[in-house]
């Protein structure tokens, strides 16, 4: 019979699983508590949650979401598992990839995005994408470029007239 604590943990995992756009499973064996807390803080900054979970609880939560997903991830749910739940797949991939690069003990197992399993290579590729803010800034610059070019073209005749007057003044003096 499951105890109340495990029921609560399962409910928390199910809630995080349904609220997340991306889920990244990692092996955390060998990370110190302070390193885990650093990763939790990074996840918290972007609105995500980093949890150390029991594999059976994660398996049960995945079964509630999708039986096929739970079956496909059965091999990944072996050994010590920590999970990063995130509302932003790119930010999650960036955080985990950077942390795994800096800390050899953290190993990326696999991930879930849009109810599909993603590989370590997919996570690495996601980590190299620009952030949402960078993409928005780039889009804004692209949208402003035609207006800025129009303003420059409208100002050019007046500037050329002023340059001509200045050259004529310099020549006469």
Domain definitions of the chain by residue range: 4-129, 131-173
pLDDT at res. 150: 87
CATH of domain 4-129: 3.30.70.1730
Q: What is the reported pLDDT for 88?
A: 86
CB 117 within 8 A of CB 72: yes
Low-confidence residues in the chain, pLDDT < 70? 1
Residues 6+ away with beta carbon under 8 Å from 83: 13, 16, 23, 24, 25, 26, 50, 51, 53, 58
Predicted pLDDT of residue 85: 92
Cα of first residue to Cα of last residue in the chain, in angstroms, is 101
Query: 4-17 in b/e burial notation, b at 16+ Cβ within 10 A?
Result: eeeeebbebbbebb
Any bridge partners for residue 23, and if so which? 85, 112
pLDDT score, position 24: 92
């Amino acid at each position: 019979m499951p105890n109340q604590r495990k029921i609560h943990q399962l409910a928390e995992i199910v809630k995080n699983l349904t609220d997340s756009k991306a889920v990244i499973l990692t092996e955390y064996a060998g990370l110190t508590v302070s390193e885990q807390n650093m990763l939790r803080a990074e996840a918290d900054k972007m609105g995500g949650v980093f949890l150390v979970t029991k594999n059976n609880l994660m398996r049960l939560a995945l079964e509630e979401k999708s039986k096929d997903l739970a079956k496909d991830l059965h091999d990944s749910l072996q050994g010590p598992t920590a999970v990063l739940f995130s509302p932003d797949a790119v930010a999650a991939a960036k955080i985990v990839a950077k942390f795994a690069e800096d800390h050899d003990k953290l190993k990326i197992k696999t991930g879930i995005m849009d109810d599909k399993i993603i590989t370590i290579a997919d996570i690495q590729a996601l980590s190299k994408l620009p952030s949402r803010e960078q993409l928005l800034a780039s889009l804004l610059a692209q949208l402003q470029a035609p207006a800025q070019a129009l303003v420059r073209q409208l100002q050019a005749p007046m500037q050329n007239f002023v340059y001509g007057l200045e050259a004529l003044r310099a020549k006469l003096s």
